[in-house]
Structure 1
């Protein structure tokens, strides 16, 4: 019984570590679902620790599988024979489920964008092309596709914004807008409202 409780705590710790490792990218999705977009960047500060947390999770799982697959001693075999029925919590099946869930959590950043609605391109009629401006926003706090999707979703709702392309790897968003319909401050405020911060603006020729 004590062994089962110990195993239970270990698996909880493994899943918790895997969850925390991707929390920086899970939060934007939770923000979208809850409608509280301002919390999207809450855990972006954890991104530098992600490799360490993933490493801990992998090491614990590797050790657990080693323990499960290594040849058993005569005493361990005899101990198993004394049990009426092997516990599910100590089985390879349960360890496989834990491993699958942990991998699913750790890989979350790679597929997080599927949770965001597809943004349809706006049909724009140019009345005065001289009013069209293109700027590049430097944005702090982005670390995965979920972050880019959060910002793109916010930009798509700003009247007068024509096109936009956000890249978390470049920590920037290129925005084309009609200055006759919207102001640059409005665009910057829309991005800042997501929780990510615009740290610089430059014109694109």
Structure 2
């Protein structure tokens, strides 16, 4: 007779991991877009952002229940000579600990993901005005769809590739990008096109 306590199932582990992944997809995909060249796919999961807190709560609840089932004491065996059932690796405490650590890394990704972006230097234009000085312009673009710092870094990386851009400052919480560029080489439409290529969308630009 097997009196071993029920162990957490693989489906329970998977549910916790998937919930953690869903909670962070809106911030992971911008990095994947830069590294993998996915372009407009960056904002594909932005719709998940309003549900992030619920997904985090679901992750904690599922993994908490898994740990409860893993660590609760075994009931007293009716047969003192009964041999405890062998646990598979995927039912072990070590495997559950690995799943928990991975889920935690996914959940906190929005707080460290921006640091993983490759460094891109602006391509500063050498073109000048007839008087001999660059024609510097600063323009502020309002951007729709950014949800975290990783989104802002994705936009910065794209705009910095436009020849003539000197500096880019993107704020996801204010939904703006302030770009300084040499208008003798770059055009406002080029900057707007670079932003739109990330999957986020420029609203009416303002000076």
TM tier relative to shorter chain: 0.7 to 0.9
In 2, distance between residues paired with 1:183 and 1:121?
Answer: 15
Indicate the SS of the match to 1:176.
Answer: strand
Shift of 1:78: 6.7
Matched, 1:135 2:139: yes
Q: 1:79 and 1:144, CA in 2 relative to 1: closer, same or farther beyond 3 A? A: farther
Shift of 1:27: 1.1
Q: Deviations over 1:55-102 (max 9, x none)?
A: 10001111222233333321499798332x333222221111110111
Q: Deviations over 1:9-67 (max 9, x none)?
A: 11111111111111111111222232121211111111111111111000111122223
In 2, distance between residues paired with 1:89 and 1:76?
Answer: 27
Residue 163 of structure 2 aligns with which residue?
159
The answer as to whether partners of 1:165 and 1:175 remain within 8 angstroms in 2 is: yes
Q: 1:181 and 1:121, CA in 2 relative to 1: closer, same or farther beyond 3 A? A: closer
Q: 1:92 and 1:178, CA in 2 relative to 1: closer, same or farther beyond 3 A? A: same
The answer as to whether partners of 1:28 and 1:41 remain within 8 angstroms in 2 is: yes
Give the TM-score, by structure 1 length.
Answer: 0.86
State the aligned residue count: 199
The answer as to whether partners of 2:15 and 2:62 remain within 8 angstroms in 1 is: no
Residue 111 of structure 1 aligns with which residue?
112
Matched, 1:99 2:106: no
Alignment of 1:46-195 (within 5 A): 46-75=48-77, 81-83=83-85, 85-120=86-121, 127=128, 131-195=135-199
RMSD: 2.5
Q: Which runs of 5+ in 1 are unaligned?
A: none
In 1, distance between residues paired with 2:192 and 2:128?
Answer: 24
In 1, distance between residues paired with 2:88 and 2:128?
Answer: 72
Alignment of 1:8-47 (within 5 A): 8-47=10-49
Q: Which runs of 5+ in 2 are unaligned?
A: 1-5
Give the TM-score, by structure 2 length.
Answer: 0.85
Shift of 1:142: 0.6
Q: 1:31 and 1:124, CA in 2 relative to 1: closer, same or farther beyond 3 A? A: closer
In 1, distance between residues paired with 2:83 and 2:98?
Answer: 25
In 1, distance between residues paired with 2:56 and 2:146?
Answer: 19
